[in-house]
Amino acid sequence: MKVARVMSATAILCGLLLSAMPSSGHHSFAAEFDGKNCKDFTGTLTKLDWQSPHAYFYMDIKDAAGKVENWSFQTYALITLRRNGTDRQLFIENMGKEVWVRACLAKNGKERYAAAGTLKFADGILRQVGQLQD
């Protein structure tokens, strides 16, 4: 029983210490995208590019003047998306429908290009499709 008590104490200590650990990422988001320049976008899903290392989806988005422009958004690696239940078919089924995404713009100034963080399809479920930035 003494061993069990020591194990239990060790286990609780390990648990407390491990609770603050960060998750691992694919590569440094901050090198390519500006975490201080993130925005909410709502538009129509127009295209999906489902290849490794990252998927890209495209949306028609109206600017403040009403002009429609096509944006591209980078996601996690395909493996990560598939493991969290965000598979290709989900994008296919939402093609032509309204999508909401929060994403951060590229540091190199590339226009209409951003890294997606969270996304909602028509089902309203919040999905993590890229590194959370803010």
Partner 1 sequence: MKSYLRCGVPCLAVLALALAFSWPAGAQEKEYTIKVMPPGGPAPRLPNGRPDLSGHWFPNGAGEGVSGRFGVDPAALSTFDPKVTPEERPAFQPWALAKIKSMTPTELELSKSSVNCMPRGVPAIWLQNPYTTLMVHKPDMLVQLYEVLNNWRVIHLDGRPLPKYPEPLFHGNSSARWDGDTLVVESIGFDDRTYIMPNGWFHSDELKVTERYSRPSMNYLFVEITVDDPKVLEKPWKSAARRWTLGNGEVYEFYCTNNKDLDELLKLRELELKQGK
Distance CA 15, CA 118 (A): 29
Q: Does 1 bind partner 1 (CB under 8 A)?
A: no
What is the nearest approach in angstroms of partner 1 to the Cβ of residue 64?
26
- The correct pick among 2, 64, 65, 108 for binding partner 1 (CB under 8 A) is 108
- The correct pick among 47, 82, 88, 97 for binding partner 1 (CB under 8 A) is 82
Comparing CA positions, the residue from 109, 129, 111, 110 lying closest to residue 119 is 129
What is the nearest approach in angstroms of partner 1 to the Cβ of residue 87?
11
Measured CA distances, 133 to 31, 35, 39, 73, 74 (Å): 12, 5, 11, 14, 13
By C-beta, is 23 or 65 nearer to partner 1? 23
Decide: helix, strand or coil at residue 77.
Answer: strand
Distance CA 41, CA 98 (A): 10
* Count of residues near partner 1 by CB under 8 A: 47
Hey, how many other C-beta atoms are within 10 angstroms of the C-beta on 115? 23
- The correct pick among 69, 70, 79, 88 for binding partner 1 (CB under 8 A) is 79
Q: Does 18 bind partner 1 (CB under 8 A)?
A: yes
Interface with partner 1 (CB under 8 A): 7-8, 10-12, 14-15, 17-28, 31-32, 49, 51-54, 56, 74, 76-84, 86, 106-110, 113, 128-130
